[in-house]
Amino acid sequence: MATLVGGITTSHVPAIGRAIARDLQGDPYFKPFFDGFPPVHAWLDRVKPDVAVVLYNDHGLNFFLDKMPTFAVGAASEYRNADEGWGIPVVPPFRGELDLSWHLIESLIGEDFDLTTCQEMLVDHAFTLPMALLWPGRAAWPVTTVPVCINTVQFPLPSARRCWQLGQAIGRAIQSWNTDKRVVVVGTGGLSHQLDGERAGFINKDFDLKFMDSLVDDPTWATRYSITDLVELTGTQGVELLMWLATRGTLSAAVRKVHANYHIPISNTAAGLMVLENAL
Amino acid sequence: MTATREIPGTTLFDGTQARKGYALNKMCYSFNAAPNREAFKADEEGYCSKFGLNDAQRQAIRERNVLKLIAAGGNVYYLAKFAGIFGLDVQDLGAQQTGMTKDQFKAKLLAAGRN
């Protein structure tokens, strides 16, 4: 069976893409963020994943309001990035992992998750920037991928509880995939931030740090909150912590924190990073 | 559920907003494509007509006013593509919505990290 090597959660702010494009990783504004990644690179060198299942939220590249799936799973041999309208460079395409895509689809629908399946799918910055952070400066991506998109655009959003359950089901599916491949789960988004309204610029450091701690020892802590609670506590885009929660859900009850970083701000966002692996 | 609870300075993009803003958001979604951004710049009013924007949406587009665009049903992810036409980023949008200069808005965010 496949080996689930662990989970990585990271922010996916577009400004990160601008910084990478301009080689600003060492700039004083960006350095505290990019300095979080060398330990993750070392961990990836050690655990050597073949496949990345990427849990992210599309921001209006692949999905528009004409068709807005709550949960969508990619089942394509290749995923391309494209112009999102505000000008970060388009990255090279990603190879799909079709066998895992269909195994995930069959397993998740078998567990009563009513998915949308996508044999064509563009992936936006929420997918591409974390990949560029985890595997920087590569001519080709060293892993194949399965994108899993969670709606955070149009309310009602799936609840924290449901995203946790989705993560658990994804974890079970990976563990039952009949292969010798090694799989890492990547969850992108957050942490606290709000782009829209008079409350733009809202950040909640106390909540973010409590949330990050909870993922280690008390992983269902955030499932007590409704989506409206989470918007109030973390901002309208802070709800992207749903992808962190789902990623944590893929792992076992006991995890080991390999690495964490937290920095305010990157653009309007409290930028977080965590690496967790199963303790047993 | 608490879906109707008010959060100050915050508009949840729910069914009401999604219905109200469909034409506006559809236009902004079209700005993913560079030729559409050019077409908008060449003839803003004509481009708005093509997507059937209502008067409030057209006025908010003319004024580049983010709060009015949200009130007219705009979703910030699509509005960011509209802002991209003018080279504006989410910190420009944040500054405009909070009545600050961009430097003041950035300072507010830096301060959040020091607390």
Q: What ipTM does the predicted assembly reach?
A: 0.95
Q: Checking DSSP bridges between strand A269-278 and strand A3-10, what pairing results, if any?
A: antiparallel
* CA dihedral sign of residues A207, A205, A59, A66: positive
Q: Give the pLDDT band of residue B2 (cuts 50, 70, 90).
A: very low
Q: Give the pLDDT band of residue A88 (cuts 50, 70, 90).
A: confident
Phi, psi of B79 (to 5 degrees): -60, -30
The verdict on whether A103 is a catalytic residue reads no
Yes or no, beta carbons of B78 and A14 under 8 Å apart:
no
Burial (Cβ within 10 Å: 0-12, 13-18, ≥19) of residue A255: buried
pLDDT in tens, A203-246: 999 999 999 999 999 999 999 999 999 999 999 999 999 999 99
In CATH terms, B15-87 corresponds, of 1.10.700.10, 3.40.50.2300, 3.10.450.630, 1.10.8.10, to 1.10.700.10
pLDDT in tens, A181-208: 999 999 999 999 999 999 999 999 999 9
**Structural domain of A137:** 3-278
3-state helix, strand, coil in chain B (%, to 5): 70, 0, 30
pLDDT in tens, B65-74: 999 999 999 9
Which of A138-142, A145-149, B57-61, B102-106 is the least confident region? A138-142
Hey, how many other C-beta atoms are within 10 angstroms of the C-beta on A213?
13
Shortest distance between the Cα of A248 and any Cα of chain B, in A, equals 25
Mutate to test the interface with A, among B7, B69, B82 (most CBs of A within 10 A): B7
Rounded Cα distance between B11 and B70, Å, is 8
pLDDT of B1 over the 60 cut:
no
DSSP B74: -
Rounded Cα distance between B52 and A1, Å, is 54
Whether A241 contacts A189, CB under 8 Å: yes
The verdict on whether A125 is a catalytic residue reads yes
Tell me which chain A residue has its CA closest to the CA of residue B31.
A85
Closest CA to A170 of A54, A14, A22: A54
Sequential DSSP letters for chain A: --EEEEEEEE---HHHHHHHHTT-TTSTTTHHHHTTSHHHHHHHHHH--SEEEEEE---SSS--TTS--SEEEE--SEEB----SS-PPPPPPEEB-HHHHHHHHHHHHHTT---EEESS-B--HHHHHHHHHHSTT-SS-SSEEEEEEE--SSSSPPPHHHHHHHHHHHHHHHHT--SS-EEEEEEE--SS---SSTTTT---HHHHHHHHHHHHH-TTGGGGS-HHHHHHHH-TTGGGHHHHHHHHHTS-SSEEEEEEEEEEEETTEEEEEEEEEE--
Rounded Cα distance between A260 and A64, Å, is 34
Yes or no, beta carbons of B12 and A228 under 8 Å apart:
yes
Q: Give the pLDDT band of residue B4 (cuts 50, 70, 90).
A: low
- The distance of Cα A55 from the centroid of its chain, to the nearest Å, equals 4
List chain B domain ranges: 15-87
Q: What is the largest CA-CA distance in chain A?
A: 51
Q: Which two tokens stand for residue B53?
A: 């924007």
In the numeric block, the tokens 């802070």 are attached to A238
In the numeric block, the tokens 């409704």 are attached to A226
Phi, psi of B105 (to 5 degrees): -65, -40
pTM of the entire predicted model: 0.97
Yes or no, beta carbons of A86 and B81 under 8 Å apart:
yes
* Cross-sheet strand order for the sheet of A116-118: A116-118, A71-74, A144-150, A51-56, A182-188, A3-10, A269-278, A255-266
Task: Closest CB to A201: pick one of B8, B37, B94.
Answer: B94
Whichever domain contains A30, its CATH number is: 3.40.830.10
Shortest distance between the Cα of B38 and any Cα of chain A, in A, equals 11
Question: What is the residue type of A65?
Answer: L
Tell me which chain A residue has its CA closest to the CA of residue B114.
A264
Q: How large is the average pLDDT for residues A70-90?
A: 95
